[in-house]
Structure 1
Amino acid sequence: MNNNNVMAETAMLPAEETEQTRKAKKAKKATRAAVFGTFVEYYDFSVYGYVAATLAMVFFPADDATTGLLNTFLVFGSAFLVRPLGAIAFGWLGDKVGRRASLIASITLMGAAATLIGLLPGYATIGVWAPILLVALRMLQGFSAGGEIGGAASYIREWAPASRRALYISFLPSIAQFGKGLAAAIAGLAAATLTDPEMLDWGWRIPFLLALPLGIIGLYMRLSIEDSPEFESKKDDAEVKKSQPFKELIRDYRMPLTKVILIALVQNVGTYIGTVFIAAYFSSILGFSKGQASTIVLIAVILAAFLIPLAGQLGSYKGGRAILRYSYIAYAVVSIPSFMLMQQGSVNLAIAGLALGMIPYALCQAGTYSVMPEFFPMHIRHTGVAFGHSVGAVIGGGAGPFLATWLIGATGNQFTPAFILCAAGVMGLIVISTVRKNAPADSTCHQFS
């Protein structure tokens, strides 16, 4: 080889390494900003469920505690009804203007709505306007949540190294667990340290008002990031400029969209029954104190937060579809034993039971978020993931807690949530058996049929 060529190639190495290092640093910074923002959004969105029993008395006073709790979960479910609208709006923003713009807008709206809930007068002060305003603010939270996960998952997917996408994306649901965990911890601390009258009077506001400083930090982080290289390189293409993301999604990607909806449905059933409804289940159905219920959920959620990246690492070797398959089998097998442990009247056994249920939950979280972006090309990816996940959330997450509460009241069977999780696992197995990877549609996106 010519010495001059060797010297020229050697001289290029530092520049190449510097560029690779710079890109790796930007990818990590982008991932941190997306992940922390999702942490904040999941805190804001989940805290409602962890103080549901108190909110029932503040906003829906009733002689029957079950009726008040049902009304509270109806409001919880109302947030899911507008998530598809948020997905369309934020999806358009993310696919046409940029992922960064969508992420900034979603965290701003979520934080503002949560803070206003914390300032809202109760039924005793303003009467029927209290639940009306609560519904309105909760729906704003749902609108924001509709765009968050699609934007964050698409953004991380487009920044992450191809060989480590499953791992990078797994940090999204993993850190989100800490958002839920913080919500459970703050709610549990308030319930444990305040008297019942204090909790009803002002204590329930504390978890919501914490959304303000958390939101400011998350907003600052997202303002400091760049759009993904993939989006930047293609945003001026004719295909992107002329595209109408939602119209194209419905017209050309109906089958991939249907599968994303069903995958998201199963994931949301596991999420909102296994980590949100379960807090009220422990206190209102099984007779644990509110402090004990929050502690049990907190421990399980933190365990899940550490299990999810392990599942994501497994996904880097086995693939997202494989770990989804494992999760669905686990849901069908372990849900009933999990609830049997919870019903023994022991805090330690309840922790063990819910921890067992976190195994399929962690696998499902990592698999769902790594698989969904692969169904769609870049120019409609945000809209496809956001809308598909949101519709699945309406059915699985919005209806799940209410359905479980209603069925327990109607049948008296405390295993009802376990039966719902088993059924979701079986349905997931049917769906994932129809998913196969085709040849890459382009150099960056693997289409799924």
Structure 2
Amino acid sequence: MSMTEIEDGANSASTRERKAKRATAAAVFGTLVEYYDFSVYGYVAATLATVFFPSEDPILGLLSTLLVFGSAFLVRPLGAIYFGRLGDKVGRRKSLIACITCMGLAAGLTGLLPGYAQIGIWAPILLVALRLLQGFSTGGEIGGAAAYIREWAPERRRSLYISFVPSIGNVGKGLAAGVTALVAVTVPAEVMLDWGWRVPFLLAIPLGALVLVARLKVEDSPEYVENSAKQRNSDHRPVRELFAGHRAALIKVVAIALVQNIGTYVGTVFVAVYLSDVLNFSKAASSTIVLVAVLLAALLIPVAGQVGARVGGKRLLVWSYLAYIVIVIPSFMLIGLGSVGMAVLGLGLSMIPYALCQAGTYTTIPEFFPVQVRHTGVAFGHSVGAVIGGGGGPYLATWLIDTTGNNLIPAFILVLAGALGLAVSAMVRRTPENVTHLYR
């Protein structure tokens, strides 16, 4: 090989890596905004209960609000099918652009929505409709971002690049908690009920516009482009192909995503309501505690991604499930002591299994599917897991705490999730296709 050929190859690799970094940045910035938009609802759930579901029983109003929160998960599989098919048929980039546009509009319009006192029963009806639109768009975003980055990233750094999806997603949740906390400490309680709760939702409009600009400037992944060229004259039907030829892989992805979403929505979103409405922390203190924890998780997840590159995705997931079983009950006992400092420490400790599970899940699930159905498979599998684990988890935790009076219920749910994860991981077998990234 001549020196010129070597230099051309090096330049080509350098150009590819620069494009990969830009594509990853555009994908994870969108994930940040998606997580922000989707999580704000959970962080202001107690306020929304008063504005949209006025009731003499505050628990009944909160349960109604959490049911609306959970309703978004019901349509996530539909969004996954729609945006996943779009991503596999016409490109990951176009699908991701459509996702962020849909989410930004839904969150922004929620911030403009009149309350029950203004328009009566139409207020909760419209709230449900906009929440469903949020769920629909989220169904395609997370799986699409993971598939897109997986196909751009250098193989030796793939786990690290993909780990930024959940890491930056946690920054989005932290931003949601931070904005909520800032509003809560800045305005009086009656102003928060009047218009203060709208501020976090309205911020979604400029954030979404910035993501849209970033995603319009990047290219589609080379792996997708190459595969698309091969299938240009074929009748490519990703949804049918997924269910016809990849059912076993899909079941495993659903189960892995189920455990991951229980950890996400019980351990980082519901916990804000848990702190304020069950343990009687102020709303500002609750948001601040969650903010510190999720920002810690955002730092831990890329570290876990680096570990996954060394030990393999399956082993990383097993470690995360064991950590849930061992750590979360002592963590929630610390949270229950009533001190802000102990609550920060306890929730921070619970971020260790959470970070391991996030990095392991997003690194692992794209490896179950070939490129022609990857967006659909990852998006749909993850969304079905989210319906069960994320949509039902907060409501179940609230109901069980109210029924049993046991404040450790969230910890017990997370321990059971860890046990389920161990059972699922035993079903993942070594194959020629997954040996590179699931095993080391």
**TM-score range normalised by the length of the shorter chain:** over 0.9
In structure 1, the partner of 2:54 is 61
Counterpart amino acid of residue 420 in structure 1: I
Aligned runs of 1:32-51 on 2, under 5 Å? 32-51=25-44
Q: Does 1:320 align with 2:324?
A: no
**Alpha carbons of structure 1 residues 50 and 234: separation in structure 2 relative to 1, 3 Å:** same
1:338 to 331, 343, 346: 331
Alpha-carbon deviation of 1:224? 0.4
1:124 to 117, 126, 130: 117
**Alpha carbons of structure 1 residues 81 and 445: separation in structure 2 relative to 1, 3 Å:** farther
Percent identity between the aligned chains?
A: 63
The structure with the larger Rg is 1
User: How many residues align structurally?
Assistant: 439
Q: TM-score, normalised by structure 2?
A: 0.98
Alpha-carbon deviation of 1:116? 0.1
Is contact 1:110-1:140 (8 Å) kept? yes
1:382 to 375, 393, 409: 375
**Alpha carbons of structure 1 residues 239 and 267: separation in structure 2 relative to 1, 3 Å:** farther
Distance 2:96 2:39 in 1: 19
Structure 2 unmatched ranges of 5 or more: none
**Alpha carbons of structure 1 residues 169 and 308: separation in structure 2 relative to 1, 3 Å:** same
In structure 1, the partner of 2:212 is 219
1:291 to 284, 293, 296: 284
Distance 1:205 1:315 in 2: 40
**Alpha carbons of structure 1 residues 82 and 95: separation in structure 2 relative to 1, 3 Å:** same
2:271 to 264, 274, 278: 278
Q: Does 1:252 align with 2:245?
A: yes
Aligned runs of 1:13-28 on 2, under 5 Å? 13-28=6-21
In structure 2, the partner of 1:3 is none
Is contact 2:166-2:301 (8 Å) kept? yes
In structure 1, the partner of 2:101 is 108
In structure 1, the partner of 2:196 is 203
Distance 2:227 2:376 in 1: 16
Counterpart amino acid of residue 427 in structure 2: T
Alpha-carbon deviation of 1:446? 7.3
**Alpha carbons of structure 1 residues 207 and 22: separation in structure 2 relative to 1, 3 Å:** same
In structure 2, the partner of 1:409 is 402
Counterpart amino acid of residue 301 in structure 1: V
In structure 1, the partner of 2:67 is 74
In structure 1, the partner of 2:91 is 98
Aligned runs of 1:296-445 on 2, under 5 Å? 296-440=289-433
Is contact 1:438-1:447 (8 Å) kept? no
Is contact 2:317-2:425 (8 Å) kept? yes
Is contact 2:364-2:438 (8 Å) kept? no
Q: Deviations over 1:99-128 (max 9, x none)?
A: 000000000000000000000000000000
Is contact 1:267-1:364 (8 Å) kept? yes
Q: Deviations over 1:155-192 (max 9, x none)?
A: 00000011111110001100111100000001011111
Distance 2:53 2:309 in 1: 47
Corresponding residue SS for 1:121: coil
In structure 2, the partner of 1:136 is 129
Is contact 1:240-1:379 (8 Å) kept? no
Counterpart amino acid of residue 169 in structure 2: A
Counterpart amino acid of residue 311 in structure 2: K
When structure 1 is superposed on structure 2, of 410-419 and 390-399 the one drifting more is: 410-419
In structure 2, the partner of 1:166 is 159
Q: Deviations over 1:307-366 (max 9, x none)?
A: 000000001101111111000000011111011000001000000000010000000000
Is contact 2:364-2:437 (8 Å) kept? no
Distance 1:19 1:238 in 2: 25
Is contact 2:263-2:354 (8 Å) kept? yes
Corresponding residue SS for 2:219: coil
Corresponding residue SS for 1:435: coil
Distance 2:109 2:394 in 1: 24
Q: Does 1:151 align with 2:144?
A: yes
**Alpha carbons of structure 1 residues 325 and 265: separation in structure 2 relative to 1, 3 Å:** same
Corresponding residue SS for 1:287: coil
Corresponding residue SS for 1:438: coil
When structure 1 is superposed on structure 2, of 15-24 and 75-84 the one drifting more is: 15-24
Distance 1:246 1:71 in 2: 34
**Alpha carbons of structure 1 residues 409 and 239: separation in structure 2 relative to 1, 3 Å:** farther
When structure 1 is superposed on structure 2, of 13-22 and 281-290 the one drifting more is: 13-22
Distance 1:415 1:34 in 2: 37
Alpha-carbon deviation of 1:240? 8.3
Is contact 2:314-2:438 (8 Å) kept? no
Q: TM-score, normalised by structure 1?
A: 0.96
Distance 1:108 1:202 in 2: 24
Is contact 1:260-1:389 (8 Å) kept? yes
Corresponding residue SS for 1:171: helix
Is contact 2:254-2:381 (8 Å) kept? yes
Is contact 1:437-1:446 (8 Å) kept? no
Is contact 1:304-1:361 (8 Å) kept? yes
Counterpart amino acid of residue 85 in structure 1: L
Distance 2:436 2:326 in 1: 34
Distance 2:405 2:417 in 1: 21
Corresponding residue SS for 1:135: helix
Corresponding residue SS for 2:59: helix
Distance 1:267 1:440 in 2: 23
Q: Does 1:88 align with 2:69?
A: no
Distance 2:153 2:214 in 1: 18
Distance 1:387 1:249 in 2: 10
